[in-house]
Amino acid sequence: MSHARMLAVLSVVNLACMGHVMAGEWPQWRGPFMNGSSEETNLPATWTATENVAWSVTLPGPGSATPVIAENRVYISSMDRRSDDLWGLCFDVQTGAQVWRKKLGASDRKVPRNNLASPSPVTDGRHVYFLYGSGHVAGLTREGELMWSWNLEETHGNISMKYGYSSSPLLHDNILYVLVQRRHTAYRVPHGAGLESFILAIDGTSGETLWKHTRVTHAQEESLDAYSSPVLYDHQGRLEMLVMGASTVTSHDLKTGSELWRYQVPVKRRGKDRTVPSPVSHEGLVFVVPSRGAQG
């Protein structure tokens, strides 16, 4: 078994252990509270290849996405580096039996120390949505029926960045929110000048774009790249969307995308601060982690 294929197995072994004992669901990147926490108890403190493992499966290839869980189903993204196919897969949470698998695109794009199956899927239990570092985005029913699919790059330009586009989509009230925070010129693509960063709202049923908000900052060069994901934020009873990228925190209206407020993060090395961690909120406070020693 190759090293890449072994990683594909291990990523689901860990999931299987958690899925077997958790009564709650894990519908998106960083879980139900969007901060990586869980209210579940009696979770195993250790596991091996056999201890505390309910089941394991082998995926088509590597993937850096988080498996998501809802309504007794586990969804995960993967890619096959031999064929360049991009896969969306569904398993039974109790047995590990494959319920369905769908090819949702293909791309020969290569990124160092990463892969195109980095954005995590997101689900509301009735539908599941997949996004890939190639720009492919798709909505499927719980049964694996394709509702719609298209590619962000066809209308919004190249989204490639040095370590691969990795932002996971946000789902709320049947609307899919996608963040693309990038340099003005695509990584190693000289003809990509004039690119802008944006947030996109997509109708979960039809796949149609509801609105696009252009995100303007004063960041430069590497600092324009963000691998972070948008999250929900309860601001004094008003639900907003938080975005951290390009050394700037912004909050947005969910219905229009309009910017409600922003905070410029102090940086020490202008142009050298790509954003990786996603923001977290708790009891009205917003926490962000800038890079390379900046204050947050």
Query: Which among 122, 255, 230, 235 has a CA at the least distance from the CA of 179?
Result: 230
Query: Which among 82, 69, 68 has a CA at the least distance from the CA of 2?
Result: 82
Predicted local distance difference test score (pLDDT) of residue 120:
98
- Weakly modelled stretches of the chain, pLDDT under 50: 1-7, 10-22
Predicted local distance difference test score (pLDDT) of residue 2:
40
* Residues 56-98 pLDDT 10s: 999 999 999 999 999 999 999 999 989 999 999 999 999 999 9
> Could you tell me if 62 and 79 are in contact, meaning their C-beta atoms sit under 8 angstroms apart?
yes
pTM for the model stands at 0.90
Predicted local distance difference test score (pLDDT) of residue 181:
96
β-pair partners for 239: 234
- Domain 3-36+52-287 fold is Methanol Dehydrogenase; Chain A (2.140.10)
Query: Which among 237, 172, 168 has a CA at the least distance from the CA of 201?
Result: 172
Give the rounded distance of the alpha carbon of 62 from its chain centre.
15
* Residues 195-222 pLDDT 10s: 999 999 999 999 999 999 999 998 888 8
For the chain, which residues make up each domain, given as ranges? 3-36+52-287
Encoded tokens for 188:
């190693």
Distance between CA 34 and CA 72 in Å, rounded?
A: 20
Q: Would you list the DSSP string of 26-92? A: B-STTTTTTSS-----S--S---SSTT-------SS---PPPEEETTEEEEEEEETTTTEEEEEEEE
Predicted local distance difference test score (pLDDT) of residue 10:
32
Cβ-Cβ contacts under 8 Å for 34 (sequence gap 6 or more): 28, 231, 232, 278, 280
Distance between CA 270 and CA 118 in Å, rounded?
A: 27
* Residue with tokens 């229009």, as numbered in its chain: 256
Distance between CA 280 and CA 289 in Å, rounded?
A: 9
Predicted local distance difference test score (pLDDT) of residue 5:
39
